[in-house]
Amino acid sequence: MSKSSNKEQKTTFFRLAIIDDKTHKQLFTVHFTRISAFIAIFSTLFVICTCVFLIIAYTPAKTFIPGYPDARSQRAAIQNALKADSLASVIYRWELYSENLKRVIDGQEPIKIDSLINSIRNTSRTKGEAANLLKQDSLLRDQVKEEEQFDISARERRNLPIEGMLFFTPVKGVISQKYDPVIHPYIDITAPAGSVVKAVLDGTVIYSGWSEDAGHTIQIQHDGDIISIYKHNQKLLKQTGDKVTAGSPIAIVGNTGGLSTGEHLHFELWHKGESLDPAKYINF
């Protein structure tokens, strides 16, 4: 009898009640043990921590955290990196100028190649080696001219991943038809007639023309093997071969082409020959 009574006394129950102070009527009553109370408190804290994590990870609220880089700081970091590369190129040119000036004063033939590093490391080259370098440099220049018809190579530029690029919104509007990789590998953006279409990145226009289905169409080649396509425009503002900057006007929203059913922009984004969902990289 004593053993069974001790086992029953081990479990202690508690009661939490809400009582009306005037009528002493119990409005709410909860019975619990120490274990159930611990589980309830732990579960509540877990849910709160999970909600806070999701809010910080998947909403713009994370930008309010001190020290977290926002879009402006990321843009500034990228621009500073590009400026650093440009400054390095300027320094190389000045060093080449100084080296050539020294050679002219000494009565030597000036260097006419872009590679300053090799000329500094090997200052004791023979005339035959210098002539060979000049010949190779001339062949390289001719090859670059043929390959860079529109001057769209990434030479002396940073090859940033597409996730780190900042795209300019081509037109402000509502996405009327979303991206589908099989059926609809692009998006349609409904916008008022006469809205200005802008380039999403710096680049060069590789096509600007008309087709019966797409209407007035413009295609732009960007760095990193990225191509953006804009269709059904009312009017094109750029021609093939023109260089554009991010945010510069390139067309006017319209309703041209046999496949268009209203005023909108048909927008495509391609990376290395594969279509992308523009909504993942651009806020419309």
State pLDDT tens for residues 17-68: 888 878 878 788 887 788 888 888 999 999 999 998 888 777 777 666 766 6
CATH number of the CATH domain containing 191:
2.70.70.10
Asked if residue 275 and residue 195 are part of one domain, the reply reads: yes
Q: DSSP assignment, residue 53?
A: H
Task: State whether 22 and 100 are in the same domain.
Answer: no
Residue 152 lies in a domain: no
Please tell me whether residues 213 and 234 are part of one structural domain: yes
The reply to whether 115 and 196 lie within a common domain is no
Residue 198 placed within a domain: yes
Residue 155 lies in a domain: no
Same domain membership, residue 109 and residue 49: no
Mean pLDDT (whole number) for 225-240:
94
155 has pLDDT over 50? no
Say yes or no: 117 and 143 in one domain: yes
Could you tell me if 170 and 276 lie in one domain?
yes
Structural domain contains residue 160: no
Give per-residue pLDDT as tens, 109-125. Answer: 766 544 444 544 454 44
Q: Which residue type does 160 have?
A: L
Strands 264-271 and 215-222: unpaired
Residues 191, 253: Cα–Cα separation, whole Å: 7
The answer to which of 11-20, 76-85, 256-265 has the lowest mean pLDDT is 76-85
Q: Residues 125, 196: one domain?
A: no
Compute the distance between CA of residue 275 and CA of residue 92 in angstroms, rounded to an integer.
39
In a domain, 65, yes or no: no
The rounded distance, in Å, linking the Cα atoms of 263 and 268 is 17
Q: What are phi and psi of 220, to 5 degrees?
A: -125, 130
CA distance 38 to 93: 71
Q: In this structure, is residue 3 part of a structural domain? A: no
Local structure of residue 60 (DSSP, 8 states): G
In whole angstroms, give the CA distance from residue 205 to residue 207: 6
Same domain for 117 and 95, yes or no, is: yes
Beta 174-177 vs 187-190: how paired, if at all?
Answer: antiparallel
Same domain for 274 and 246?
yes
Q: How many domains does the chain have?
A: 3
Q: Residue 153: inside a domain, yes or no?
A: no
pTM of the model: 0.46
Q: Which among 147, 179, 208 is the end of a domain? A: 147
Q: Which residue has the tokens 């930008």?
A: 63
Give the residue numbers spanning the domain of 29.
Answer: 12-60
Which has more pLDDT, 194 or 145? 194
- The answer to whether 111 touches 100, Cβ cutoff 8 Å, is yes
> How many whole angstroms separate alpha carbon 247 and alpha carbon 25?
69
Residues 84 and 173 occupy one common structural domain: no
Bigger pLDDT: 131 vs 107: 107
Residues 43 and 92 in one domain: no
Q: What percent of the chain has pLDDT over 70?
A: 71
Cα separation, 39 vs 51, in Å, equals 18
In a domain, 134, yes or no: yes
